[in-house]
Amino acid sequence: MARKTGRRLLSWANSPCHLQFNPFVLTGYRPTSGTLGCVYSLFYLHNELGNIYIHGSVLYHLFMCHHGGSRVYTRLLALDMCGVWLANSLGALPMIHCTLACWPRLRLLALVAHAFLSTIAGWQALTARSTVARLRAFGWQATAHLLVFAVRGMGLGTGAPGSLPCYLRTEALALLGGLVNVARLPERWKPGAFDYWCNSHQIMHLLSVISILQLHAGVVLDLIWAAHHAYACPAD
């Protein structure tokens, strides 16, 4: 399929240095090209094709082979990290709001603290030098989310009864996707066998999409619960 393009795909060793982040994906790399060449790559087989279509935003993976080199790639990666950061930051706000609905002052404090931790996480993710460091950067947010889960799980907080399992699945799937991506599985076990399909980055994308759908389901339940005021706060 790739031969019809008239372009010769590259091996890992011949690809640009800033794209040599997975030594277990050996072939199928796109040659550097301009904007039209990147768009053209939507229509032939290469090892980023699945990532482009699975990704929530196609910009990062579509233009990562742009002839602008590492400068363009770094900016696109920053844009991608901003998207991940927004999903983690904004997605938690309804959860915190509903969990602490009966304690307005504590709720405000928790929201401010979450905003502060999210700012730290965003900065660390944008300045991270490796995949492991980027995953670690979101640990601040994950810790804050787990504390809120604990409050609700122990019956101290409020919220829709069915939303907590959705939130737990959200965090578990996101963490699993990040670990798979860092571990480079399954291609680490058999380099070259997963160059085009089912490599760690594609698996991470799929798990991330499912994770966001779980977050959406939990938020919808909480917002419906809050809209109907279907709760009673304990007496002071």
Q: Which residues sit opposite 29 in a β-bridge? A: 10
pTM value surpassing 0.95: no
In a domain, 235, yes or no: no
In a domain, 191, yes or no: yes
- pLDDT, one tens digit per residue, over 98-116 is 999 989 999 999 999 999 9
**Beta carbons within 10 angstroms of residue 65's beta carbon:** 24
Full domain range(s) for residue 153: 2-227
In a domain, 117, yes or no: yes
Q: Is the pLDDT of residue 3 over 50?
A: no
Q: How far apart are CA 167 and CA 217, in angstroms?
A: 9
In a domain, 232, yes or no: no
Q: Is the pLDDT of residue 4 over 50?
A: no
Q: Which residues, 6+ apart, have CB-to-CB distance to 15 below 8 Å? A: 29
Q: How far apart are CA 210 and CA 152, in angstroms?
A: 23
Q: How far apart are CA 184 and CA 173, in angstroms?
A: 16
Phi and psi at 29, nearest 5°, equal -80, 140
* Mean pLDDT, residues 169-184: 93
* Mean pLDDT, residues 180-204: 95
In a domain, 51, yes or no: yes
* Mean pLDDT, residues 46-52: 92
In a domain, 234, yes or no: no
In the chain, % helix, strand, coil (3-state, to 5) comes to 65, 0, 35
Q: How many domains in the chain?
A: 1
- pLDDT, one tens digit per residue, over 62-98 is 999 999 988 998 888 888 888 888 888 888 899 999 9
- pLDDT, one tens digit per residue, over 128-175 is 888 788 888 888 888 888 899 999 888 888 999 899 999 999 999 989
